[in-house]
Chain A
Amino acid sequence: MTASAPGPAEVNAARASDEIADHAPSAARPQPSARLRKPRLGRAAAWTFMAAILVISVFPFWWALRTGLSTNGDLFAGEQSLLPVGYTDNNFERVLGTASEAEILESLGRENTGSFDFLQSLQVSVIVSTAVTIGQVAFSAMAAYAFARMRFRGRDKLFFLFLSGLMIPPIFTLIPNLILVKNLGWLNSYLGIIAPFFLMTPFAVFFLRQFFLGISREVEEAALLDGAGHFRTFFGIIVPMSAAPLATLSILTYITAWNEFLWPLVVARDPARQPLTVALGQFTAQQPGTSPDWSGLMAGTLLAALPIIVIFLAFGRKVVDSIGFSGIK
């Protein structure tokens, strides 16, 4: 989409995300409104500002890639070229554990100190995020359905109680949860890392309830009258009808689980159970202050962000459209 003016067809754009389209229907009216014929100069300045913001948003990723493809020796020589200095792909091999001794020496310039098992941590991140997403979305959806569609004593009070969970800052439950997990013997285990997020989050229940409330009741009523139970109605009708919000929530949940840092930091002291965020977060602390392994660090950082970037490239539109107030109001 270019600078072409959004047409007046959008005058009644009352709801946010629904109206947002790549191509504004500007052909609907022959005359652009007066407001849109504004000085070219202001428009050029506005685009320049936007372009600068976009460059600032992506530049750090390029810089990490460029650093990851450089050798440490050349980095420390201080050359600030936009392209890699002393190009090498050894750093990525080092992170993935496939580099030979000679390659390590070439790209790192010294003995390798303080590394972590990237593939091991990647595996932890994938297992944790996948389990959390499946459990959280499924169980939150069931609860959301009950809150949206069933009638039982104390329903609204219970829902309000669930919602109040949104107000509890994670640090407040961190300590008691840690004690609980420790008592259960789940420290340094997948169970311990996953458990607090597996069964529900207040946000997920709230988000899905909002959507279920908006589904027309007629279809369900017909099914219920036909003798289908709530389970069949839920799994056979509600879930398929809600594929889009369920997918959006799953993506957001997966990304949130992938990014989680504090909880796995305190639960998983064992490196074999540390997800990428924790392993990377402690990587710098193991580095000698005089010659940190910048190129290895940036290669690892990029690789750890890669799954998120891939998800985003694949489902970006859903994520972008989910940012609004439908989930909050």
Chain B
Amino acid sequence: MTSTAAPAQVPRRRSLFGTASLHGGWRSAFWFLLPALVGFVAFYLYPALRGLYISFTDWNLIANQGSWVGTDNYERLFDDRQVWESLKITFKYTVINIASQTILAVIIAVLMDRLTKSVTIRGILLLPWLIPNVIVALLWVWMLDGNLGIVNDFLGLFGMDPVRFFTDTGKVIPSLAGINTWRHMGYTALLIFAGLQTIPRSLYEAAAVDGASERQMFRDITIPLLRPILALVLVITIVGSLQVFDTVFVATGGFGGQPGGPANASRVIYLYIYQNAFDFNQLGYAATISVLLVAILLTVTYLQLKLLRAGESDLA
């Protein structure tokens, strides 16, 4: 190809770009788009449609085929108490994780904004987020170990009894949420920090001249103006949190344990889908649960983006 589209001889044509010379039509664009288009169709579009189809079948990975079963899987979904239990666990995890991580991130971001713009400090804060989930999980499995973990020794300094972080059904979800708070708080703080830079300094200067305290400025300037960015950050982090998998799989699956333990107390929805697909060999049903998860994620995103739009006027 490479034949250039007609140069500036057709200035009358309505153009998005103002000049006709940048037009190429599909003939030029085709080769630029081809690889990405193949990738998109093969690994996004086609599987998404096929996933929908599979959710109506009894697909079996060993035979690698399935037959149409109509809405059987969907009916089963509503009767399957384990799905709703998994969702409950996932929501519990998300609430704990997002609450702790967002609060810490806002504090870190505001302090950084006031104290320092050091790239080194921001780099250190970002480090946990760059490390693979698997490695993060392993580091904390060791530190939180019930017998030899350093954290229990630390708590012992304050006279606390050893905590069974991963083997107590009531503790395992908060433990996992804590691990991912550690991993994500710096990243989230940097996102919020970037948002803080969009707030005009003059507002703080003016408020300070008027004798406002730090707390008042935080409440009356920072929070309202940060709201749209906070909403965006929450969309990203909540959608991510609802899809937690790696950490749960590694942290609860070690040492002969069954991932999702103890007693399925940490079986989040992603893990339940995984188990259905690969442990129970019910890919059709696993796909059905995925459809439910997609619906939940889209709803959450939609609601939050509405919230975001509601907040936009504040920045005007």
Contacts and interface: CB of A to CB of B under 8 A. Distances in A.
A200 to B, nearest CB: 4
Contacts of B123: 312, 316-317, 319-320
Nearest to B283: A175
A91 to B, nearest CB: 13
8 contacts: A12-B200, A175-B290, A199-B36, A261-B133, A287-B254, A294-B148, A320-B123, A323-B191
A90 interface: no
Nearest to B245: A262
Q: Which 8 A-B pairs have the closest CB atoms?
A: A199-B39, A284-B254, A229-B2, A35-B208, A143-B36, A176-B47, A324-B194, A200-B36
Nearest to B190: A323
Given A49-B107, A50-B112, A277-B132, A323 B51 contact: no
Contacts of A42: 214
Contact of B115 (A43, A67, A312, A319): A43
Interface of B: 1-4, 7-8, 15-19, 21-26, 28-29, 31-33, 35-40, 42-48, 50-51, 54, 59, 61, 64, 104, 107-108, 111-112, 114-119, 121-128, 130-135, 137-143, 145, 148, 150, 153, 182, 185-187, 190-191, 193-195, 197-198, 200-202, 204-205, 207-209, 214, 217, 229, 232, 236, 239, 243, 245-246, 249-250, 253-257, 270, 273-274, 277-278, 283, 286-287, 290-291, 293-294, 297-298, 301
Contacts of A27: none
B126 A320 contact: yes
A297 B208 CA distance: 53
Nearest to B49: A176
A54 interface: yes
Interface string A144-186: 0110011111010010011001011111111111111011000
Contacts of B121: 50, 54
B297 to A, nearest CB: 6
B206 to A, nearest CB: 10
Residue of B18, B64, B194 with highest tally of chain A CB at under 10 A: B194
Given A15-B198, A175-B54, A297-B138, A21 B2 contact: no
B162 to A, nearest CB: 12
A124 interface: no
Contacts of B46: 176, 180
Contact of B33 (A58, A142, A258): A142
Contact of A60 (B140, B209, B274): B140
A298 B126 CA distance: 21
Give chain A's interface residue range (CB within 8 Å of chain B).
35 or more
A298 B8 CA distance: 64
B201 A13 contact: yes
B9 to A, nearest CB: 11
A217 B22 contact: yes
Contacts of A241: none
B8 A58 contact: no
A6 B138 CA distance: 40
A97 interface: no
Contact of B138 (A11, A284, A308, A317): A284
A16 B197 contact: yes
Contacts of A57: 124-125, 127-128, 182, 186
Nearest to B104: A53
Given A2-B116, A152-B25, A220-B22, 4 more contacts: A11-B202, A183-B64, A262-B246, A317-B119
A280 interface: yes
Contact of B195 (A61, A174, A258, A325): A325
Contacts of A38: 214
B44 to A, nearest CB: 4
A312 B112 CA distance: 21
Interface of A is mostly: helix
Given A232-B2, A285-B256, A169 B117 contact: no
A200 B141 CA distance: 35
B117 A24 contact: yes
A292 B147 CA distance: 12
A266 interface: yes
A288 B7 CA distance: 72
Given A57-B124, A262-B246, A266-B278, A230 B39 contact: no
Interface stretch (A74-82, A98-106, A242-250): A74-82
A9 B88 CA distance: 50
A34 B3 CA distance: 63
A150 B22 contact: yes
Contacts of A304: 132, 135
Contacts of A151: 15-17, 22-25
A142 B32 contact: yes
A24 B112 CA distance: 13
Contacts of A196: 39, 43
Nearest to B154: A80
Contacts of B26: 152-153
B118 A172 contact: no
Given A139-B35, A230-B24, A324-B194, A165 B44 contact: yes
A173 B44 contact: yes
Contact of A297 (B54, B142, B195, B229): B142
